[in-house]
């Protein structure tokens, strides 16, 4: 039977029974109250029965025993009111939980149902899930994008708030990536499809948020273990009370009053609300366990390139040594870096492309990436080294002759890349990155939040790292690190008692993020690795989401603490009231249900959470 219909039927019968009582029609009064108790109590007893089949003794069983006992001893009013209030509370509780999931539901509602595609030279409308990869999708002003893809024609502004949480539409032109669930506010776009249906970024986000909201936090798991033993203890207490006092009504009242309903719901409702707020603001928190740990973070580690900086380094300086020209240094480095996707390699290849050099590149015979140091390639039979000082020194090349040049570049914040061929250093390439506009403010906000340690971890040289750190306000820098060094440093801080968060791009920093208590991936939008490996993925490539995520997690922890403390206080207060003879079955049940609703309302405040600044 529909929950609302159960409540209306039971409530109407209780009202009718009360009127019969006032008119002195006690037999009709009893019949109406018993029927009201049966209608409201049947779903409760049914749940209790199925729970017992799995050897679970829960709140439903306590209420069922109390209602049946009240009828047996002739307390029909108490039986009707107890079952009605419990059913009504469960109904309101379900509605309130549904409301806390509105952030996710609003995402689901944005999922487009159809798509306009070009097939055989004609534009036709098909169900969104039937669009094929590499097919051209047409999107006009005001329409939702049904797929992930690349703009191949047209331009416009796309509202990406459903994924990134950013308020301003983003300009899109040929070559730009676009995502399902976003809205083309103005313009006309033709999009070549990359991902469709459940494979789209938008669909994966919805799936992960659903999983996260259903996941259990450590506090929740503890309370559920506690309730497993607490409920049988309450039944035992009621039996002992009856054995001593021979007061059946007192024993039944203890059964109902001691129900830990508010306590059981205290943690999950806060977790659902916190994760919902994060999803609405472009912060994908992967579960209750992660939101609890993030709320305890007191040390934040930042990768430098692509995190504190924009990750778009450019060649700013080229020095040829001896008879080697600048363009020849760049040509050799470009040829050696051909197989690398490192950000410094991309800067070198881009600079070479812009140089306009038309000389043929030497043929590559072999290629090896040396993590944290550079690359070793063999070109036309000659060994080429392109990387930092350690790479050359490990291969027995003396770098003392270029020490002053290296220091000069590094002091200016440039990363110095050495180029060696045939056992000789041919030149140095200086590469610089731009600090993110919001980086300094974000570091300041983290300090105001009381983060004890803020550390930069980078494989870059110390001078260049210190230059970037001084701009953003970080005083603790760990430079010249290999990937395994980052893991070692993170482990040292964790052993020292810190709860550590590692912020990176979700790809190169995946091992370090996995080592940390909380891994935070920048720019998760479009990055499978970021979404799948990070504990928290920032769907927009902006640092200012980090203080928000930590602040939201802390607010969630406070909310859980308030809810749990309140729920425990209510249960003990009611128990004392029952034993003192001032709390009775129906009034106690009313207070119990009000406490559940207050816990839900308190948790719902998280949906409106906004970071306090200043």
CA torsion, ordered 27, 29, 34, 36, to nearest 10 deg: 150
Angle CA(39)–CA(44)–CA(49) in degrees, nearest 5?
120
pLDDT of residue 417: 93
Alpha-carbon gap, residue 113 to 110, rounded angstroms: 9
Q: What is the pLDDT of residue 521?
A: 84
Answer yes or no: are the C-beta atoms of 512 and 308 closer than 8 Å. no
For residue 92, count other CB atoms closer than 10 A to its CB: 16
CA distance linking residue 596 with residue 92, whole number of Å: 9
| pLDDT given at position 95 | 66
Q: Based on the number of CB atoms within 10 Å of its own CB, is 350 exposed (0-12), middle (13-18) or buried (19 or more)?
A: middle
Mean pLDDT by runs of 10 across the 614 residues of the chain is 82 90 88 91 86 74 78 80 76 61 56 87 90 92 90 89 62 88 88 86 67 56 67 81 84 75 76 84 83 92 85 86 92 88 84 88 86 87 91 91 88 87 92 87 94 88 84 91 83 92 74 84 63 76 90 94 90 84 78 82 88 67
441: burial class by Cβ within 10 Å (0-12, 13-18, 19+)?
Answer: middle
Residue identified by tokens 């509370």 is: 89
Q: Which residues, 6 or more positions from 246, have their beta carbon under 8 angstroms from its beta carbon?
A: none
- DSSP per-residue letters across 325-365: -HHHHHHHHHHHGGG---HHHHHHHHHHHHHT--SPPPPEE
What's the pTM?
A: 0.66
* Alpha carbon distance 499, 553 (integer Å): 13
Tokens of 39: 């209608």
Q: Which of 60, 303, 460, 505 is catalytic?
A: 303
pLDDT of residue 360: 84
303 as an active site residue: the answer is: yes
Alpha-helical (H) ranges within 215-309 are 218-245, 248-257, 261-280, 288-294
How far apart, in whole angstroms, are the C-alpha atoms of residue 177 and residue 167? 18
CATH 3.40.190.10 assigned to 285-308+437-549: no
Query: In the chain, helix, strand, coil percent, each to 5?
Result: 55, 20, 25
Return the closest-CA partner of residue 509 out of 483, 535, 490, 531. Answer: 483
CATH tag, 112-200: 2.70.150.10
Alpha-carbon distance 597 to 161, whole Å? 31
pLDDT of the residue at 215: 53
- At the top level of CATH, the class of 314-432 is alpha beta
Determine the pLDDT at residue 221: 65
To the nearest 10 degrees (0 to 180), the angle between helices 545-580 and 261-280 is 160
399 and 393 Cβ atoms separated by less than 8 Å: yes
């Amino acid at each position: 039977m529909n929950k609302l219909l159960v409540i209306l039927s039971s409530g109407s019968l209780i009202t009718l029974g009360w009127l019969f009582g006032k008119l002195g029609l006690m037999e009709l009064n009893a019949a109406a109250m018993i029927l009201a108790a049966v209608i409201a109590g049947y779903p409760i007893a049914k749940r209790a029965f199925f729970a017992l089949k799995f050897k679970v003794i829960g709140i439903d069983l306590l209420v069922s025993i109390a209602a049946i006992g009240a009828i047996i001893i002739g307390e029909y009013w108490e039986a009707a009111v107890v079952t009605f209030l419990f059913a009504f509370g469960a109904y309101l509780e379900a509605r309130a939980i549904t409301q806390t999931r509105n952030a996710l539901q609003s995402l689901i509602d944005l999922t487009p149902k159809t798509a306009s595609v070009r097939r055989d030279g004609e534009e036709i409308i098909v169900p969104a899930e039937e669009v094929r990869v590499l097919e051209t999708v047409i999107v006009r002003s005001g329409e939702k994008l049904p797929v992930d893809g690349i703009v191949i024609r047209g331009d416009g502004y796309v509202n990406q708030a459903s994924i990134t949480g950013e308020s301003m539409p983003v300009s899109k032109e040929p070559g730009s990536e676009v995502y399902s669930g976003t809205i083309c506010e103005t313009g006309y776009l033709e999009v070549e499809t990359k991902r469709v249906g459940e494979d789209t970024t938008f669909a994966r986000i919805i799936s992960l948020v659903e999983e996260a909201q259903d996941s259990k936090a450590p506090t929740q798991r503890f309370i559920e273990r506690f309730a497993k033993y607490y409920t049988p203890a309450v039944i035992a207490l009621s039996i002992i009370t009856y054995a001593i006092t021979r007061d059946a009504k007192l024993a039944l009242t203890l059964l109902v009053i001691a129900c830990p309903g508010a306590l059981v719901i205290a943690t999950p409702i806060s977790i659902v609300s916190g994760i919902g707020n994060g999803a609405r603001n472009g912060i994908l928190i992967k579960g209750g366990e992660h939101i609890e740990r993030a709320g305890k973070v007191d040390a934040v580690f930042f990768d430098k390139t692509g995190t504190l900086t924009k990750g778009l380094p450019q060649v700013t300086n080229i020095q040829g040594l001896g008879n080697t020209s600048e363009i020849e240094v760049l040509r050799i480095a470009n040829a050696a870096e051909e197989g690398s996707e490192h950000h410094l390699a991309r800067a070198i290849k881009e600079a070479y492309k812009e140089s306009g050099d038309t000389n043929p590149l030497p043929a590559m015979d072999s290629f090896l990436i040396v993590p944290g140091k550079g690359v070793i390639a063999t070109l036309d039979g000659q060994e080429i080294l392109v990387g930092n000082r350690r790479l050359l020194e490990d291969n027995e090349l003396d770098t003392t002759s270029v020490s002053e040049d290296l220091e000069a570049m590094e002091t200016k914040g440039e990363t110095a890349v050495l180029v060696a061929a045939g056992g000789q250093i041919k030149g140095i390439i200086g590469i610089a990155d731009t600090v993110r506009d919001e980086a300094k403010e974000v570091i300041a906000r983290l300090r105001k939040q009381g983060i004890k340690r803020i550390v930069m971890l980078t494989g870059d040289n110390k001078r260049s790292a210190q230059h970037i750190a001084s701009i953003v306000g970080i005083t603790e820098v760990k430079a010249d690190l290999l990937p395994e060094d980052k893991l070692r440093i993170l482990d040292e801080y964790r052993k020292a008692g810190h709860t550590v968060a590692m912020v990176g791009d979700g790809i190169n920093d995946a091992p370090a993020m996995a080592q940390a208590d909380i891994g935070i991936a920048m720019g998760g939008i479009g990055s499978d690795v970021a979404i799948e490996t990070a504990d928290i993925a920032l769907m927009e490539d902006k640092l200012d989401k980090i203080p928000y995520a930590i602040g939201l997690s802390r607010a969630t922890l406070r909310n859980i603490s308030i809810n749990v403390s309140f729920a425990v206080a209510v249960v003990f207060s009611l128990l004392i009231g029952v034993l003192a003879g001032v709390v009775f079955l129906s009034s106690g049940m009313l207070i119990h249900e009000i406490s559940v609703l207050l816990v839900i309302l308190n948790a719902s405040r998280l949906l409106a959470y906004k970071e306090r600044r200043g």
